[in-house]
Structure 1
């Protein structure tokens, strides 16, 4: 059976003989029905009105995958996450449900026809009344949560595990953990408190070249795309850092004990494990920004995420400067005044843009 013929059937362009051939093919093997259902769902995704498919609306509907939100031209419309004593407040729209139902009703109609055919082993192609019922759509429900620059967030996972998100962080998790593992995906920085389940480990996938295997523990992971290195710090319990060699094969690249930190710079670089002060590693959760002889380029990245500002560098010699300082509730102006006082850097601020230069 060709994909083109299946798509003709899905879009209603198939001839009577082609429709019968597709239905006969689907009825022969459960795998054929699964393949058809997956293709049908992809067609629904791709034909949903993009003008309605913003991230927060997809979250409200719980139907659209992370892949769709990344490809959507509206993926920049991220919703700020707000800690509400155990919940996350996300803007919802009352309209997206009907848009999704309208697109999905075509696919549901096909499903109803197919199920009727499989039951009766006979083909009926008369006009059907669309049956709109979300429970009949075999979607895998996933949530993708974002925190913008200058915003932090909190979410409780389906198993009761807790995750605090630092600014500019993305977390993807399912409605329900199924199978032998509890899998989530994180990019950015997050603090995990994982509920113990020795029979069902949590696998934290990252946007770097490693995964984290957890039974029940507390740890911090930082994997920002534009950072020079990625870091995982264990507060309590134990974790394995694993790397997939090829599909179905993996290796344990590190086993962490409490107060140890795993640092990796790139795929071919050696792994570094060191003792750290864990309170400083997770100080961001308490609103504390700590710099200890930190290179200025790293300072700039953190300030951009922390305050949602943009930096322009006029003289790159200033990147040789290092900063040691602690900040909690200071504004970006107060922070820049402190940097100006203790380094050879001067600055100007216009709207939300900070321009840095070397003192003359």
Structure 2
């Protein structure tokens, strides 16, 4: 019988420990990994990390997943084959991607980045991913600036007076794009891929109102005299005074999900959010799910770090099925997924780095007995 990993650790046999861990990560287990084995795995990883060696897996402490969830990617196959441990070292450091990424072939698909289109009030368009930092445009009393960090900022000149008409701008991210905006009131907005926001270049009226599609995260500047309202696809309205929240309205499953991180928001259906019977008030850590199919609303508790994974450069896989994961892949890598045969029944856990080429994601999926073939912009997926 093999020696326990903790005995190997005590004996200082580091190379054998690493070999044992690597083998465990490559082999699917038929039963859940016992806690004492998981503890040994974690201790070995920590020991190798302290010794300056390259980590076998990424260590991410995530909620209360005990020691098993210290590994970055644990995939649970719902078909009944048990736990599958994936070596996720290629996803471990988004700031220092592995050297192999430099030598990717020309057929690979690079991850998304800061890309957006700014549509000005006169209908003209500016490609933001190719614009250098500095002054961009003057519209009415407002200067539009591209900042050195790649964000778009609006600065209204309060010294200027006059009854100028309200001008609106729209920022739209394509598939494979994301962008940050500082609105005229100082509120900060982050757009995920395939999203948009329409807003006035200065908030001169009694309230601040914007319209969005896709997925957008807000950090709203406090102003009790001017409530901040978000119109979501003309189907829902979120009202706040000053708070941090995320809205996901992609519509992959027909739901609009509003998640509160800080402060308080009122979520209602369409323009009737003022009616008490049509709105709900969220507390931090809660998510309101508005179903377009059943015309119902419900509130659930959520882990906000999972909801905000996209803003932090990660794919959130917690509880996701294969189609859920593939929707994220489609938007971030600007590809279309086509399934061949029956879609495998799978459930994922953990997070993966979004700053890697598509080929790294495909390598990960191939470890799960999936065949993945990229043909132009179409990704074909089927079970082996």
TM-score (norm 2): 0.58
C-alpha contact 1:146 1:168 (8 A) present in aligned 2: yes
- Measure the CA separation in 1 of the matches of 2:274 and 2:312: 40
1:257 CA drift (Å): 0.5
Q: What's the counterpart of residue 281 of structure 2? A: 255
- Measure the CA separation in 2 of the matches of 1:162 and 1:314: 42
Tell which deviates more after alignment, 233-242 or 329-338: 329-338
Q: What's the counterpart of residue 293 of structure 1? A: 319
| Residue 169 (1) aligns with residue 195 (2) | yes
**Residues 81, 271 of structure 1: alpha-carbon distance in 2 compared, 3 angstrom cutoff:** farther
| Residue 323 (1) aligns with residue 323 (2) | no
Q: What's the counterpart of residue 186 of structure 1? A: 212
Q: What's the counterpart of residue 149 of structure 2? A: 85
C-alpha contact 1:189 1:220 (8 A) present in aligned 2: yes
Which deviations, in whole Å up to 9, do the C-alpha atoms of 1:229-282 show, x marking residues without a partner?
A: 221110100000122476996744210011111112216343221111111211
Q: How many residues align?
A: 246
**Residues 156, 251 of structure 1: alpha-carbon distance in 2 compared, 3 angstrom cutoff:** farther
Structure with the higher helix share, 1 or 2: 1
C-alpha contact 1:243 1:250 (8 A) present in aligned 2: no
Please point out which of 310, 328, 346 is paired with 2:336: 310
1:226 CA drift (Å): 3.3
Q: Which has the larger radius of gyration?
A: 1
CA RMSD of aligned residues (A): 3.0
Which deviations, in whole Å up to 9, do the C-alpha atoms of 1:1-26 show, x marking residues without a partner?
A: xxxxxxxxxxxxxxxxxxxxxxxxxx
**Residues 154, 253 of structure 1: alpha-carbon distance in 2 compared, 3 angstrom cutoff:** same
Higher relative contact order (CA 8 A, sep 6+): 2
Structure with the higher strand share, 1 or 2: 2
C-alpha contact 1:63 1:140 (8 A) present in aligned 2: no
Q: What's the counterpart of residue 122 of structure 2? A: 63
Name stretches of at least 5 consecutive residues in structure 2 with no aligned partner: 1-115, 132-146, 154-160
Name stretches of at least 5 consecutive residues in structure 1 with no aligned partner: 1-54, 70-74, 90-134
Which deviations, in whole Å up to 9, do the C-alpha atoms of 1:200-251 show, x marking residues without a partner?
A: 1001000162100010000011101334322111010000012247699674
- Measure the CA separation in 2 of the matches of 1:81 and 1:226: 30
- Measure the CA separation in 2 of the matches of 1:247 and 1:206: 12
C-alpha contact 1:63 1:142 (8 A) present in aligned 2: no
TM-score (norm 1): 0.61
Q: What's the counterpart of residue 33 of structure 1? A: none
